[in-house]
Chains A and B, each alone.
Chain A
Amino acid sequence: MSKRKRIKIGREKLQRIIEMCKSVEERSLDPFLIDVDEAVKTIKKFFPEWEIPEDLCLDAETVYHLASVIKLQSEWVKHRSTSLYTDPFLLTEKLVHIEKEEMVETFLKAWHPIVEMEQISLHSLAEALRYWENLLPLSERWQEFQPSEIRTSPATREELIRQRILREKAFSEELESFWQELKNKVKEKGVEGKIRYWDFVGAETYEETVHRAFLTSFLVTYGYASLEIQSLEEEIFIKPNEKPAAKTRKKQLVSIPIAVTTEDWTKWKKGELQ
């Protein structure tokens, strides 16, 4: 017989053992209907043939089901040895032939029903009354959930700006006018087409200064202006471009952190920041 044929027969035999074991487990048939010795012999016989994982899994599954049947056999023996054991056939015969009244009479002698009580106590009644007294009428309780009537009308743009839902200008517009402002300032106060960073971002209030520094960072990032850092003098200049410079991928972009602290702002206000 070829190896392939032997494997095929082996698989079929293991499947059959599994099916038999399952029917005993599920339908509570007599577990001794299965010849365990014979099944073990079959498993042993075909074990050397298994090479692929699927066949080894089938082998393991067969062993598992056979073990379950052996467990059932042991339980069966244990049950037979206890005083509770009665021949199922004998008992079934009795059950079929016994009269209804006789059955009830027998059962009642062995039945001791549980005593369960469900009763309200004075204490619970008093608790319930207290709760009832403190409970607000439905009309009052439900009022809490009624939403108050609000007269609705369309919001104006100014109101939305006031509530900071809308910005006064679109960001690009704001940036464009800020660029224009930079150019004008450079014309007025700048030297060689550039202006000191703090002279441009510095404003009356610290908040305004931070806002201007924030916008300046975008001017530089988007190519509207460029920064000139003189490391030796520790001075930073900002220089507006005539046209926004196109971003080139060839150049390595660098980030330059510039601290805008309250100390620096105070010094700039006093004219002490060099």
Chain B
Amino acid sequence: MRRRKGYYASKMKRAVHLLFYKRHTKPGVKGWELRKALGADYPKVLKILDNYLKALDLQVKTVFEGEKPVEKPTLEQLDKARFYITLRGDLTPKEAKMIGWRIDDLAGLAITIAYVISKKGKAPRKEVEELLRDKLPGWKVGLNVDRYIRYGYLTQDENEQLYLDWRTRAEIDQKAFIDMLLSK
């Protein structure tokens, strides 16, 4: 029993190293990378780690390929998924400020994401900028949208259409956000 505990403890440490430290340009680790480093039982290691992180208000977040979350993922789906460590609970506006976000920029991000969701995941940049210009200074609007793109919240195609990108899928509970917004 003790040996088994030790086995998972060392694997958990290895998983923490892989998940917490940025190894590529994008954060997070692919499932197949975890399988290579931790062995075939990596989903179990991640489950133990997730339980452990609960007390620290952190969680292991799985983002599957494609738009939608998967209820009962197969090993193949897990291998292709990307795993992150994210905050489990939520931040207060003061805390958000402390991690480098001005309230204006954060509100702009929220408006942009909500608008793109309302347009079925695709909205013209021009329309988004018009909406932001209503409450943000004009010179800042373009810069902010560029910043959201750079961070990975949004992506833009050659026709200047904005889409939600990997970071939005990893960090934002889109359904909860829209529900809360509509219930205001």
Q: Mark A87-109, 1 if CB is under 8 A from B, else 0.
A: 11011101110101111111111
Interface pair A113/B99, CB less than 8 Å apart: yes
Q: Mark B25-60, 1 if CB is under 8 A from A, else 0.
A: 001100000000000000000000000000000110
Is B8 close to A, CB under 8 A? no
Is A204 close to B, CB under 8 A? no
Is B81 close to A, CB under 8 A? no
List, in ascending order, chain B residues with CB within 8 A of A108's CB: 90-93, 96, 106
Distance between Cα atoms of A259 and B103 in the complex (Å): 94
Given contacts A96-B131, A112-B86, contact A91 B180 (CB under 8 A): no
Interface pair B171/A111, CB less than 8 Å apart: yes
Interface pair A98/B184, CB less than 8 Å apart: yes
Interface pair B22/A118, CB less than 8 Å apart: yes
List, in ascending order, chain A residues with CB within 8 A of B142's CB: none
Given contacts A114-B86, A116-B22, contact A84 B180 (CB under 8 A): no
Distance between Cα atoms of A116 and B161 in the complex (Å): 29
Instruction: Give residues 152-181 of B contacting A (CB, 8 Å).
Output: 159, 161, 167, 170-178, 180-181
Binding site for A on B (CB under 8 A): 20-22, 27-28, 58-59, 61, 84-93, 96, 99, 103-104, 106-107, 109-111, 113-115, 117-120, 122-124, 131, 134-135, 159, 161, 167, 170-178, 180-182, 184
List, in ascending order, chain A residues with CB within 8 A of B84's CB: 114-115
Is A252 close to B, CB under 8 A? no
Q: How far is the CB of A79 from chain B (nearest CB, A)?
A: 5
Given contacts A88-B119, A96-B131, contact A112 B110 (CB under 8 A): no
Binding site for B on A (CB under 8 A): 26-28, 75-76, 79, 83-84, 86-88, 90-92, 94-96, 98, 100-119
Closest to B122 in A: A28
Q: How far is the CB of B25 from chain A (nearest CB, A)?
A: 11
Interface pair B115/A84, CB less than 8 Å apart: no
Closest to A91 in B: B118
Interface pair A115/B103, CB less than 8 Å apart: no
Distance between Cα atoms of A86 and B181 in the complex (Å): 11
Distance between Cα atoms of A118 and B180 in the complex (Å): 34
Partner of B61 from A110, A112, A118, A119 at Cβ < 8 Å? A112
Q: Which 5 A-B residue pairings sit nearest by Cβ, starting from the closest? A: A110-B177, A107-B110, A91-B118, A112-B86, A88-B118
Interface pair B120/A79, CB less than 8 Å apart: yes
Interface pair B115/A95, CB less than 8 Å apart: yes
